[in-house]
Amino acid sequence: MTINRRSLLTVAAAGAAVLALPFAARAEGTLEAIKKRGTFRIGVTQAPPWFSKDPKSGEWASGLGISMGKAMAQTLGVKMETVEVSWGNSIAALQGDKIDIMFTIDATAERRQAVDFPTAPLLYYSLAVLAKDDLAVKTWQDLDKPGVRIAVPQASSMDRFVTEHASKADIQRFPDNAAAIAAFQSGRVDAVCLFHPPLLAARQRLGKGKIVVPTPAQIQASSTALRKGDAEFAAWVDKQLVTYYESGQTQKWYEQALSEFGLDPKLAPPIMKEMIK
């Protein structure tokens, strides 16, 4: 065949068109790609009890996401491969085909425009307080009293909820989670209110305080992010999540991760909404 300028331009245009297609339209399905590659790539970031790297070995050795990733890989007959990402760039890593899945990502409307989520939630977490050991807290009404000092991140969902349900308390607003926790650490407040995952790390680091889910419990679902456009893979992941959750395995992996992180599972809120009281 004679190769001329017009031929080269035609080939180049065809190649550009392929690159412009969504991943699912121009490549094999995720399940097929995983089996062909021999590895199931999960995004990981240092965030116990979800993911935790052993500082000595450098291996991602524990965490709910690690246990779940290994189980899914085993079901597929492949090895689990960890790929380090941040919460901020994990969506881009999915879009760029760097990872196959990212656990513990909330399915916000904004994220749904960029990635897919299975129907079943991964787990549930609760609005909680890390409170002084001698502060009696069972309900939100227990916090709704003059003289009770509560730290919240300013303009957050926690700020809005506490303002509405504990208006009599001394609500102190801080720029972010870390500043709110620091206020509790220094004794400037009696409790800090956040969704419970960051409170677990704070309680472990500080070695003081108690984590309480005041009633009525305020619960939010967390999910699993997947590359957009692969319905077969989304259905497969959905089935696995339902199996793990309904059998209680998700809760067991969570409790195991807490123990490995140095926390007593009995002191931490559960991640199954049926267990949250």
Instruction: Say if CB 265 and CB 259 are below 8 A apart.
Output: yes
The tens digit of pLDDT for each residue in 11-33 reads 344 444 444 344 444 468 999 99
**Chain-centre distance of CA 135, in angstroms?**
29
Residue 234 has pLDDT above 50, yes or no: yes
Residue showing tokens 């997947």: 226
The whole-number average pLDDT for the span 147-157 is 92
Who's near 209: CB < 8 A, 6+ residues apart? 130, 131, 132, 133, 184, 202, 203
Residue 139 has pLDDT above 70, yes or no: yes
Alpha-carbon span 18 to 216, nearest angstrom:
53
pLDDT score at 27: 60
- Domains by residue range for the chain, with CATH: 27-123+222-271 (3.40.190.10), 125-219 (3.40.190.10)
- Higher confidence at residue 71 or residue 156? 71
Q: For the chain, what percent of residues have pLDDT higher than 70? A: 90
pLDDT band for 47, please (50, 70, 90 cuts): confident
**CB atoms near residue 32 (< 10 Å):** 13
End-to-end Cα, the chain, rounded Å: 74
**Chain-centre distance of CA 190, in angstroms?**
27
pLDDT band for 243, please (50, 70, 90 cuts): very high
pLDDT band for 88, please (50, 70, 90 cuts): confident
pLDDT score at 147: 95
The tens digit of pLDDT for each residue in 102-132 reads 999 989 899 999 999 999 999 999 999 999 9
pLDDT band for 9, please (50, 70, 90 cuts): very low
**Chain-centre distance of CA 19, in angstroms?**
31
Alpha-carbon span 267 to 128, nearest angstrom:
12
Residue showing tokens 């303002």: 163
pLDDT band for 5, please (50, 70, 90 cuts): very low
Distances (CA, A) of 50 to 64, 151, 208, 263: 5, 25, 22, 13
The tens digit of pLDDT for each residue in 175-220 reads 988 899 999 999 999 999 999 988 998 998 899 999 999 999 999 9
Average pLDDT, the chain: 89
**CB atoms near residue 148 (< 10 Å):** 19
pLDDT score at 6: 42
Who's near 94: CB < 8 A, 6+ residues apart? 43, 100, 101, 102, 115, 225, 226, 227, 228
Instruction: Say if CB 120 and CB 245 are below 8 A apart.
Output: yes
pLDDT score at 4: 44
Instruction: Say if CB 137 and CB 214 are below 8 A apart.
Output: yes
